[in-house]
Structure 1
Amino acid sequence: MVVCNEKCVRQIGQYLNVPVGKLSCDASGKISVTTGPNNEDKIIGFATIIAQLARASNRPQFGNDKEDEALVRQWLEYAVCYGNSSHCSQTAHKVLKELNDVLSTRVYFVGNSPTLADIVLYHVLYPVMMTLSFQEKEQYIHVSRWFNHIQQDSNLRQKNNLVIFNRTLLYS
């Protein structure tokens, strides 16, 4: 669940090499982080926290121009809206179908190189992709191609296991 997924926020912060701060969740499941020297600054909401981490990273995570940045922010909101429901099998398949259609004509979600959208969607989709059978992964061939490509970055993957897409392993 993305609304209050502390692990996801921590992994993204670690990938961006930015300290996350003190994370907490309220009764409604909304995540917040307190930062600053005296924990006086509070940022509320998954997408807002992630965007703040990306700004602090001094890496070009929002693409090449303002249009790319707007698209990245839309994908962050998509992750919040639909990633929250991805634990439900029916919703997960709907989301995977939508993402598969988007990735049928591109390598990354925004632009020609990985952006914050790819990083966040990798971490949001990881639990779903781990549970899919080989046949289900084949149904979403473009998502599977993208996911397999993205997960090869060990800094992004961190301690997550590789999701296997091939039925016959040549080496172990």
Structure 2
Amino acid sequence: MAAVDSRKKSVVLALCKHLQLDSSVIPADNFDNDIKTLYLNIAAASGQEVNHSVEVLKWVAFAEAFPVALDASFENLKKLNDELSDKSVLLGNGLKPSEADVVVFSVIHSSLISISDTDKEKLPHVLRWMDYIQHKQELIGLFEEILLQKPDFDPPVTKSIGAVEADSKTNKTEQSIKNTNKPEADISKIKQS
């Protein structure tokens, strides 16, 4: 039960940050509600127009049903990984995180922190998404940072202008030599029609 209460607190803090709402305006008795009710209450308290589409509520339900047990949560993380394989954020709104991203991030964070590095390697899309959300929404102060091992980037080596010009001259010289070595076509052998 403590893990569920902790999740709800995480959802409240993250949603309030996302919606630019002071979390102290959310009454403590709201924590007795399910995550969907928390989401709807916080959205209403924010005074902002918030998306309550079926798709958002689907992800809120996913967060509500997300298991606390690590073994069971890993199976759900694999499903989420498949879902994120072709998009940057849950609702596919380009690169703009939605309330659904914030709610799901808040709920799965503790599970992702707890799994082994070997299992994390099996979730590249979830890790990419978590890294994006934690930085884009500035959630690192509220949540432990999920460290992502990013590959080193080695930019392609560029040639200096002098080297490019030298290569160009070499190619022209080689082309001239090839042209002089070709026998001229004997025009007299070509029949005229």
* 2:52 is the alignment partner of 1:50: no
Name the % identity.
Answer: 25
Change (3 A) 1:90 1:51: same
* 1:22 maps onto 2:27 in alignment: yes
Cα-Cα RMSD: 2.6
1:145 to 122, 128, 144: 128
Change (3 A) 1:126 1:162: same
Question: Aligned-pair distance for 1:137?
Answer: 1.4
Aligned partner of 1:78 among 62, 69, 83: 62
CA distance in 2, matches of 1:125, 1:137: 13
* 3-state SS of 1:156 partner: coil
1:134 touches 1:167 (CA, 8 Å); kept in 2? no
Q: Any idea what SS the aligned residue of 2:148 has?
A: coil
* Inter-CA distance 111–45: structure 2 relative to 1 (3 Å threshold): same
Between structures 1 and 2, the one with greater helix share: 2
Q: CA deviation at 1:56?
A: 2.9
Distance (Å, rounded) in 2 between the aligned partners of 1:123 and 1:94: 18
Structure 1 residue 133: Cα displacement: 2.6
Q: Does the alignment pair 1:131 with 2:114? A: yes
Unpaired runs of at least 5, structure 1: 26-30, 33-43
Question: Would you say 1:103 and 2:73 are equivalent positions?
Answer: no
The answer to whether the Cα contact below 8 Å between 2:84 and 2:126 also exists between their aligned partners in 1 is yes
2:20/2:46 contact within 8 Å kept: yes
> In the alignment, which residue of structure 1 is the partner of 2:162?
none
Alpha-carbon contact 1:122-1:147 (below 8 Å) kept = yes
1:60 positional shift = 5.0
CA shift for structure 1 position 164: 0.9
Q: Is the 8 A contact 2:12 2:42 kept in 1?
A: no
Q: Which has the larger radius of gyration?
A: 2
**Could you tell me how far apart the structure 2 residues matched to 1:5 and 1:24 are?**
15
Where 2:43 maps in the other structure, the secondary structure is: helix
TM-superposed deviation, 1:168: 9.1
Q: Give the counterpart of 1:160 among 143, 157, 176.
A: 143
How far the C-alpha of 1:80 sits from its partner, in A, is: 0.4
Q: Counterpart of 1:119 in structure 2: which amino acid?
A: V
Q: Look up the match of 2:183.
A: none
More strand by share: 1
For 1:154 and 1:117, how far apart are their aligned partners in 2?
A: 12
